[in-house]
Amino acid sequence: MYAILDIETTGGKYDEEGITEIAIYKYDGQKVIDQFSSLINPQKEIQPFVEKLTGINSKMLDNAPKFYEVAKRIVELTEDCILVAHNAAFDYRILQTEFRRLGFPFERKSICTVALSQKLLPDEPAYSLGKLVRNLGIPFSDQHRAHGDAKVTLKLFELLLEKDIQKTILRAHIITKNPNKVPSKYLTLIDKLPSEMGVYYLHNADDAIIYIGKSNNIKKRVLSHLTGSQQKAIAIQEELSHVTYALTGGELVTLLKEQNEIKSIAPKFNRAMRFRTFPMGVRIDSSATYPLLVIEQVKADTEYLSVFKNQKAAKATLFRWSDEYKICLNKTSVSKSETACFNHGIQKCDGACVSEESPEAYQGKIDRLSESLSYPHDDFLIIEKGRKEGESSFVYVENGKYRGYGYHELNHQIKTKRQIESRLIQMGSNPDAQKLIRSFLRRKKYKKLIPLSFSFTN
């Protein structure tokens, strides 16, 4: 027995959505034997883009039943049924969230018609519900309304059942466990977590931090730890006792805070980031007549042009620099040839490899490369959004070194060095932080960049 399902929601933050409409068709493999369709009053605002997409507005829902008033009907209609939906994980998660708010455990087997279609209809150009059924010639009216989407999902499912003659593929796609199910002991913990940007800390029973992570939606990310089936996720689940968090507001502050705290606390499940996020670097060796660009493992107290996740990424970037600045490959650690380099033969190298280019001219190229990778100013603030309305965050760079981050409500609160220092959460400068800041500046995701070329007053 199957329960063909579609749900429309308010939209909004993960795990905080509300249902605005639901439709269920109970199907025995031959015909529909029961059905239910209703608007639902979610008791929260509908996101404007969702209202435009579905045509459902708050006024339409004023007199609609609330979820708890239809919950018993949904339980009865879906009991002993396999839930079937297009992107079933979404509809199942929304239903479970609503039932969890009522303190009721809701578990069903499920089938996703997206995954089933990809297996049984491998030549289709697209698998979104609208595009797929139109390509199959299935009439589709009332798109983005629960009754319309559920009805067309039923027609699609009928076709898929016919295609799967032996029903072996269908059986293989029945999910017997809900991938979004959270162990009951964590339900209260999850409900208290925010759906906002920040850094979170997973603790064991002794209050030791066993994992530090970041996310633009803390609740969603922690849920993934609690529902994951990978070896690391299972190991975390076995030790997890409680979760704490710190809201950060800005993306760059979040990245910098996470990498700094992983290095200083060294949680057992953050092995990959305990030491360096970017362990390979390219530095300038100025001991020879022509400066050399050297790829090596990052060393403490050494300046690097840039740092990278691995040697492959470092080499790829070195080759790109060679093309952009006509840098001789023989003057890098990727080539040990003592004859003319390959680029010289195709006129992409000006001859440093055979002493045709002067050391001064070649040094100029290295200087231009170095300048292109440096910060835009020696002293500056990067302004991002804060943790709450009316607040901004800032990242402070002084003398080309990252000093830390802080928060302020009004611009005049960061006008002097003393004011900046008084609000600063100090952090050490390292190649990882430098890389994160450079990347963020390159993407121009900040609200404002404030050069501090004026003379500070104390």
Q: Do 326 and 392 have their domain in common? A: no
Average pLDDT for residues 111-127, to the nearest whole number? Answer: 91
Q: Do 55 and 119 have their domain in common? A: yes
**Residue 70 belongs to a domain:** yes
**Residue 407 belongs to a domain:** yes
Average pLDDT for residues 247-274, to the nearest whole number? Answer: 90
Q: Do 385 and 357 have their domain in common? A: no
pLDDT for residue 274 is more than 80: no
pLDDT digits (tens, 9 = 90+) for 191-239: 788 989 999 999 999 999 999 999 999 998 998 888 777 888 889 988 9
What's the pLDDT score for residue 300?
81
Q: Do 6 and 155 have their domain in common? A: yes
d(CA 74, CA 25): 11
pLDDT digits (tens, 9 = 90+) for 21-71: 999 999 988 899 999 999 999 999 999 999 999 999 989 999 999 999 999
Percent of the chain surpassing pLDDT 90: 59
Higher pLDDT, 411 or 130: 130
Q: Do 68 and 147 have their domain in common? A: yes
Single residue among 330, 355, 373 that ends a domain in this structure = 373
> Considering only CA atoms, which of 227, 134, 124, 213 is closest in space to residue 175?
227
Q: Do 163 and 50 have their domain in common? A: yes
What's the pLDDT score for residue 361?
94
Q: Do 168 and 285 have their domain in common? A: no
CATH (domain of 155): 3.30.420.10
Query: Mean of the per-residue pLDDT values for the chain?
Result: 89
**Residue 334 belongs to a domain:** yes
Single residue among 146, 172, 198 that ends a domain in this structure = 172
Percent of the chain surpassing pLDDT 70: 96
d(CA 391, CA 376): 25
C-alpha dist (Å) from residue 258 to 355, 388, 432, 445: 47, 20, 11, 18
**Residue 92 belongs to a domain:** yes
Average pLDDT for residues 237-259, to the nearest whole number? Answer: 93
Q: In which band, very low, low, confident or very high, does the pLDDT at 367 lie, cut at 50, 70 and 90?
A: very high
C-alpha dist (Å) from residue 72 to 20, 104, 132, 250: 17, 11, 33, 43
Number of structural domains the chain divides into? 4
pLDDT for residue 452 is more than 50: yes
Q: Do 433 and 413 have their domain in common? A: yes
What domain range includes position 410? 380-451
Higher pLDDT, 94 or 14: 94
CB distance 290 to 362 below 8 Å: yes
d(CA 427, CA 90): 40
At 21, list the tokens. 């409409």
What's the pLDDT score for residue 179?
56
Q: Do 134 and 21 have their domain in common? A: yes
pLDDT for residue 189 is more than 60: yes
What's the pLDDT score for residue 227?
79
Q: Do 366 and 385 have their domain in common? A: no
Single residue among 342, 357, 373 that ends a domain in this structure = 373
d(CA 41, CA 52): 17
Q: Do 14 and 60 have their domain in common? A: yes
**Residue 52 belongs to a domain:** yes
pLDDT for residue 379 is more than 80: yes
What's the pLDDT score for residue 181?
62
CATH (domain of 232): 3.40.1440.10
